[in-house]
Amino acid sequence: MKSSYELSLEQTLFGMLSGEALETARLITSDEEIHQWQELANAVSIRRLGFNDHGPVHMRKVAINAMNMFNILKEEGIHPSIVKEETGSYEDSRIAVLLASFLHDIGMSVGRQNHEISSFVLAERIIDRILNTVFPNQLLRQITIKSVTLEGIMGHMTHHAISSLEAGIILVADGCDMEKGRSRIPLLISNESRVGDIHKYSSSSVEKVTIEKGTEKPIKISVEMTASVGFFQVEEVLIGKIMASTIKQYIELYANVIGRDTKRYL
């Protein structure tokens, strides 16, 4: 059963969409198989491995982050790859980003190592099923959307080079989900010290991540934190994803401890 927070995030996402993209988002969020893969990924990530949230809430937040950036870039006249290459429409591009947002971490159900590859394998059949429902008898359209979706899934850890704008949006949207709620459950479960805890503690100090229109570049990302340990998340996670992303030239990045001077990175 979905939590009230998941339902609230879905309503936020639906409010950012229309047409076939909205239809697809409603289908994805009501799909029992997708939800169960997300729940299992979270159980393995948090309870078995002691990592941050990689489940339904995380993937909904990534989708919201991605749609926010997608909309800003569209308003600025920056075309996604599917549109620029004339292989599909804005709607196709948006749907590819949505699918990748919801499926990129389901491979955590298998384990952390190479989970982007596990996600790729697990997602392929699900993508076919969703696209067959939304776009029956439109094979070329299905293939176009599927190819970019799979690139976004495979590339979200920066281990595999990407080339499409859509996959670049996924990279940054994933990196932006670093607010303290993502590490809340792992910290409650265990206070024992272990290698890798810096991810939990740094994330727990991040109070707010804001994505909005920039002043010098299209997208402005601002990170507010309660302690300087949060800079680890910015410098070791988010910046790495931005630098590997096809949208890095469109991003301004700022971070600060609340009450102190703001540091500009990009």
Strand 206-213: give its sheet, edge to edge. 206-213, 219-225, 251-257, 263-264
Which residues sit opposite 209 in a β-bridge?
Answer: 223
CB-CB contact of 200 with 187 (8 Å): yes
User: Does pLDDT of 182 surpass 80?
Assistant: no
Write down the pLDDT at residue 47. 79
Total of domains in the chain: 1
CB-CB contact of 250 with 219 (8 Å): yes
User: Largest Cα–Cα distance of the chain, in whole Å?
Assistant: 57
For residue 33, give its domain range: 4-264
> The tokens of 159 are what?
């281990």
Write down the pLDDT at residue 141. 97
* Residues 56-82, mean pLDDT to the nearest whole number: 97
Q: HEC string of 104-155?
A: CCHHHHCCCCCHHHHHHHHHHHHHHHHHHHHCCCCHHHHHHHHHHHHHHHHH
Write down the pLDDT at residue 200. 61
* Residues 74-94, mean pLDDT to the nearest whole number: 98
Please give the DSSP secondary-structure letter assigned to residue 214: -
Q: What contacts 64, CB < 8 A, 6 or more positions away?
A: 9, 12, 13, 16
CB-CB contact of 46 with 53 (8 Å): yes
Which contacts (CB < 8 Å, 24+ apart) does range 40-46 have?
Answer: 40/106, 40/109, 41/105, 41/106, 41/107, 41/108, 41/109, 42/108, 43/109, 44/108, 44/109, 44/110, 44/111, 45/108, 45/112, 46/185, 46/186, 46/189
User: Does pLDDT of 188 surpass 50?
Assistant: no
* Residues 202-207, mean pLDDT to the nearest whole number: 83
Write down the pLDDT at residue 111. 87
pLDDT band with cut points at 50, 70 and 90 for residue 15: very high
Q: Cα Rg for the chain, rounded, in angstroms?
A: 18
User: Does pLDDT of 22 surpass 60?
Assistant: yes
What integer best gives the mean pLDDT of the chain?
A: 92
Comparing 133 with 47, the larger pLDDT belongs to 133
User: Does pLDDT of 208 surpass 60?
Assistant: yes
Alpha-carbon gap, residue 215 to 169, rounded angstroms: 19
Write down the pLDDT at residue 191. 53
User: Does pLDDT of 249 surpass 70?
Assistant: yes
